[in-house]
Structure 1
Amino acid sequence: MFGDSTLAIASNLESSIRVENHESDSEVRYSVVLLRGTVAADDASELTIVNTNTPTGSSPVKVLTDGKRFKALVELSEGRNVIRLEHGSASTSELILNFKPQTNPHYVRLIWMTDQSGETDFAVPDDTVTQDYANRLRTAALLMQTFTAERMKDLGYGPRTFALERDDKGEVVVHTWKGDQDKQDYYAQADNNRWWQQVRRWINDEHPDPMAKNVVLAAYTRKDPRTGKMLGHTALGGANLGLFGSASVFCWPRDIQSAMDVFQDGTAVDPTHVHDDSAFRGTIWALASTTIGATLHETGHAMGLPHCTDNMGIMTRGFDHFHRVFTFADPPSKQNKQPLKFSSEQEAYFSPVSASFLRWSPWFQLDDSTGVSAKSPRSRPNVEVDEAAKLVRISSSAGIPWIGFHSKDRIETFQEYGSHDTGSDDHPESIELTFDDIQQLKPGTEIRRIVVVDSNGEARNASLPQPSP
């Protein structure tokens, strides 16, 4: 169909098939794009999308539609990608995207961790599920990368996202590494929260890399058939490590194009055989959404993000709705007997308080800044809390673009200074805030701590004095 050289091709702007979130001839820095758009017809269901430079081995593009609207995940090859969109009642549209891999040396590393036996199998409900853990983890990571880029762009920070480790062929790397203990030892550590600390020690001792944020899935997670208790199950992130159990990996998509099907799969989860971590919805689509979303949540903690107050934020239980960015309605579940349509405001995202912090993270800079002259050595900002003057003095010769304000266990609000565009130099080098200024940022909430980030992504925390009880 798309090989006909006589076919009339319209640009995205001229066509009655419109992609709304990507401009033709633009550059993207991640390999799977989400296309959102509309067709000037009553029904978009006949829409076909083909990348004429699709990567080897990619499946045909799955297009999800809702009336005139469509969404699709398109895999890109490095360089120029000509994407053609065709519908029976509209002229063919052509979208050109240029994929340029990131050069940022900071990256996210994917690790499938076995115990010392080296056994890689994960828990499954039955023998029909294939043990292709690498494909499932790789696909989930690509979805998280795409989700992050799209939601950062939606908030005005540009399509920034983290880099994934890739091999010489451009394939996302999934490491399979043996832990140094038996699974029974890990099970015992999980009971008293020492497991995360043990895995972090193992990573730092056996596989050190200061440029890596490590996403580790434990192959040995199981449900005890006798007690029903989960063994080796957690979701915990911080420092350079996000650690997760693998109890739900069986429902994760095996490749990008199957993701749309998984997020529409209303098959019931049998909690007598597997762990149902679906936020009480009890279906495959919900289980995949919650657990991939939770993986991104814990990766966010490893990036330095705290919990926030936004119910749709990834850093709250908004991660339950990870799938909504890629779909139009929640399929039936235990919580909704009929398909449940949602608005764009009900889709999960990195809330502004989180996205604005990630903008300055070294893991979100897209390109290697080595050799680029900085305004100053990469020292951390200075923060002086003057209790006598009831004042906080902040300074950094690199400039201060962002300050976050925290209550006891979460971030409450933030302030941005200057532009967040690449290369901007309008960030103040000094800021003074009175204690009253800070408390008035969110009246009724006790601000206990501030986090200051400079334009190099270096951060410093400072605690504020608390009123006497």
Structure 2
Amino acid sequence: MPSFLKDLSLRRRSKTSFKTTETSNSSGNTSSNDGGSDEPPTYNKSSSTLNSYLDHQSPPTTLGSQKSSSSSHLPGLRNGSKTPPVNGRPRLPSAQGQRYSIVGMPSQSSESVPRQSPATSPLAPRVLSVSDGSWVHQKVLLIYGEAADKARPIDGTVNVCHHQEAFPQTQWPVSDSVFKALVYLQPGPNKLRLDFTSPKLSSPNGQMQVHSSWININFLPLISSPPLQLCILVAKDSPETYDATPERVQKEGNGLSTAIKKFRMAAYLWQAFTTEQMTRNGFGRRCYRYEEEWQPGTLTWRDSEVGQMRNEAKIHVIRLDQTVQEIQDLDLAQQYGPAKKKGDLFGIAQNAVRAYFAPRPGQPQYVSCMFLDAHWDKKAGTVRGHAALGGGDDTIKLAIFGSHCLQSYPSHIEEVVPAFTDCTRTDTDYVANDCNEGGSNWESANIGIGAHLHETGHLLGCPHQESGVMLRDYVRLNRTFISREPYSTRTKQQGLRQCTPKDECAWHRLDTLRFRFHPCFQLPTDTAMSPDPSVQVWAVEDGSVLVTAATGIAWIELFPEGDDLCHHWIEYLEQNGGPAGAPKQITLTEQSLRERLPQDKRKKKLKVKIFSCGGSDHEVQDFAQLTSKIGKTKLPDGRPGFRSSKLGFSQMEGSQPTEVILGSHHRPPRLLKNIRIYHGNSLDGLEFFYEGDYSELFGKRGGKQGGDDFPLDTRKGELVMGFYLRAGIWIDGIQILTSTGRRSQVYGNATGGSG
């Protein structure tokens, strides 16, 4: 009842007798008379009575009583936080009574901010993975939870009813009272209804009983971070088909349009999986985004039937310069043993993507590609036109994969569970059994979707890990989306009866740490950081090493000799994963690091890799050498000096060690007046010019004719304070820093290597 009517003494009256001063007994007894009419009583007041009341007393009009419903969402912009309850404006009673199609379940309201609704019974679904009122940033959200009594597990079905019926209802199996579902979200508030039914639950009227609950999720699409682009690469004379069995071809086709649907659905599975993993690791609901466009919808089968348009991930189709025969050359097939050019498909894809996107310096493109013309050659026993690779350079971060498993992918959200539970054996007369781990359709979907995600992890900067997606954990990717696993031809065993979070595929903790500070994973609520992401490492007295980073030190990886993968690391982040509490300076000792290693590895050579919150890293190949006498020197003026760790690999032909000690540390000191930088696309050398026409050369004179000069203002006492370097295999670029705060340009390649 509206607040301005709560003190008004009105009894329930029929419409015809409301204006009279006497109570009608017949209307008052209608609702309690068992033998009366089935027509429900009318509780609405006449407009004349309401108007007469409002004429005498108006509701309060203070600011406190008229809070805007939109402002209630502002405090909830933080990840995972709940939206506070909305103090809605009182509404006049409508002409229709509130309908209940199910006991305790109110009809769906068209209000912009849905009200909180209780579950209809203790058996109603309970979502455990996301709290009510949370903010998320991806269109397809993975949820999991429980239904019925967990102490008495039963099977059944959860029906997801989307906000304002903007997306068709979807059904998800409940196994031993556990369910997992993918829900489609509209931008803004989404009120979702979850209906649980089970044939094992008795119903008094003989019909299946429905137990319902509601959850509110706010979807805020992001456009402030670079997208992950999705591309299908097609040979210039391609028939635009992929490998599929005749039954599949007859059922759904195997043309380019079907390939686009399946690749798009796989990409949304990647995103839903990654977001859930980031949440479990304490980094909030953050993930990369896709470039989207307004196009015919494919995330539900109904869209193609009714011609529904939606804003969905764009799949770029790039036509290659190569023919099908060139793409399917056995010498290019990665899995073919005698092949001599196994990595060339990556170069072909990289050139095509670079020509298509035309990236600018300092603005890399992140692109995951699929070769449509990959083909299973039964006679050769390999997949032609396929390579699973990921990496890239400063302008293109790239992952490539073949289409040989594409027939087993789901095309729509409704097909996700059927795809991951389809035990149909792989017919190797038509399609590949990749690495002998895709013996059935659902296992083939695991290999295809999961291995491509693995390569996408490489393009996002992830190396191989001791476990998780970046090992080969994706062979159980299906467990993320289903609650009960079918029989596996790979293990020759029946699958898990119940797939719990601990049984699922996962990103390794170190992968999620990399994602937390990756440009593609940034959120508008993230705090601004220093523009200098670099890490500096200095050997100091007493055998210690000083590590500094303007953006904060995030974590350190330890690699004792013989370890190719990281098994030991140190984190410096706050509990919420934010950089605010990350130290900008730490002191390390060899003993403190070795104490973190197993006893049998403490005496081995130790490599250390240090990561900043700005996404940069610094590698010390031999920590003991850095702190030893080799890392120290005596300056000409008698003071001790310390050598930094080496940058570049010194693998170029003609590389020679060179050392220069600036004249300011000599006796008597020499006044440095100018620095000449010799460079082209990388750094060739530096020449230091002192007062009295004296100079010292570091490196060699090369690159640009005559080099570039950086004069110092000696009248103001300007001195060189340090250098900013960009390096990889060689020194790509250098920037000079002075005591007055002045910085030179970056000479050489300003975007090459890492800073």
TM-score by length of 2: 0.56
Q: 1:195 corresponds to which residue?
A: 345
Answer with 433-442 or 238-247: which moved more.
433-442
1:345-424 to 2 correspondences below 5 Å: 345-367=502-524, 374-384=528-538, 386=539, 391-406=544-559, 409-419=564-574, 421=576, 424=579
* Change in CA separation of 1:226 and 1:241 when aligned onto 2, cut-off 3 Å: same
1:102 to 222, 226, 235: 222
- Measure, in 1, the Cα distance between the counterparts of 2:352 and 2:559: 31
Q: 2:213 corresponds to which residue?
A: 93
Q: 1:338 corresponds to which residue?
A: 494
1:315-350 CA-partner distances (Å, limit 9, x unpaired) = 111111111111123211323343433543221111
Offset, 1:46? 4.0
- Measure, in 2, the Cα distance between the counterparts of 1:387 and 1:295: 45
Q: 2:311 aligned with 1:170, yes or no? A: yes
1:6-405 to 2 correspondences below 5 Å: 6-7=100-101, 8-9=104-105, 10-11=117-118, 16-41=124-149, 42-55=153-166, 58-88=167-197, 91-126=211-246, 127-128=249-250, 129-131=252-254, 132-168=258-294, 170-186=311-327, 187=329, 188-190=331-333, 191=339, 192=341, 193-209=343-359, 210-239=363-392, 240-277=397-434, 279-280=436-437, 282-310=439-467, 313-334=468-489, 335-341=491-497, 342-367=499-524, 374-384=528-538, 386=539, 391-405=544-558
Unmatched tracts of structure 1, length 5 or more: none
**One-letter code aligned to 2:518:** S
Offset, 1:14? 8.5
* Change in CA separation of 1:274 and 1:87 when aligned onto 2, cut-off 3 Å: closer
Kindly report the root-mean-square deviation, in angstroms, between the aligned alpha carbons of the 2 structures: 2.7
1:456 to 614, 617, 633: 614
SS at match of 1:145: helix
Offset, 1:453? 2.6
Contact 1:401 1:427 in 2 (8 A): yes
SS at match of 1:275: coil
* Change in CA separation of 1:199 and 1:24 when aligned onto 2, cut-off 3 Å: same
* Change in CA separation of 1:360 and 1:250 when aligned onto 2, cut-off 3 Å: same
1:286-325 CA-partner distances (Å, limit 9, x unpaired) = 1101221111111111111111112xx1111111111111
1:214-251 CA-partner distances (Å, limit 9, x unpaired) = 11000110122442332111211113111101100111
Contact 1:25 1:97 in 2 (8 A): yes
Contact 2:535 2:610 in 1 (8 A): yes
* Change in CA separation of 1:197 and 1:367 when aligned onto 2, cut-off 3 Å: farther
2:587 to 407, 410, 432: 432
- Measure, in 2, the Cα distance between the counterparts of 1:85 and 1:442: 49
SS at match of 1:134: helix
Offset, 1:259? 0.7
SS at match of 2:514: helix
- Measure, in 1, the Cα distance between the counterparts of 2:476 and 2:566: 21
**One-letter code aligned to 2:159:** T
Offset, 1:466? 8.3
1:33-72 CA-partner distances (Å, limit 9, x unpaired) = 12211122453514322113354xx443131211211111
**Greater RCO (CA < 8 Å, at least 6 residues apart):** 1
SS at match of 1:23: coil
Which of 1 and 2 has greater Rg?
Answer: 2
* Change in CA separation of 1:54 and 1:204 when aligned onto 2, cut-off 3 Å: farther
* Change in CA separation of 1:220 and 1:67 when aligned onto 2, cut-off 3 Å: same
TM-score by length of 1: 0.88
Contact 1:104 1:368 in 2 (8 A): no
SS at match of 2:553: coil
How many equivalent pairs are there? 456
The sequence identity of aligned pairs, in percent, is: 24
SS at match of 1:195: helix
- Measure, in 2, the Cα distance between the counterparts of 1:268 and 1:300: 29
Answer with 122-131 or 182-191: which moved more.
182-191
* Change in CA separation of 1:268 and 1:50 when aligned onto 2, cut-off 3 Å: same
* Change in CA separation of 1:213 and 1:37 when aligned onto 2, cut-off 3 Å: same
Unmatched tracts of structure 2, length 5 or more: 1-97, 106-116, 198-208, 295-309, 334-338, 626-755
**One-letter code aligned to 1:222:** H
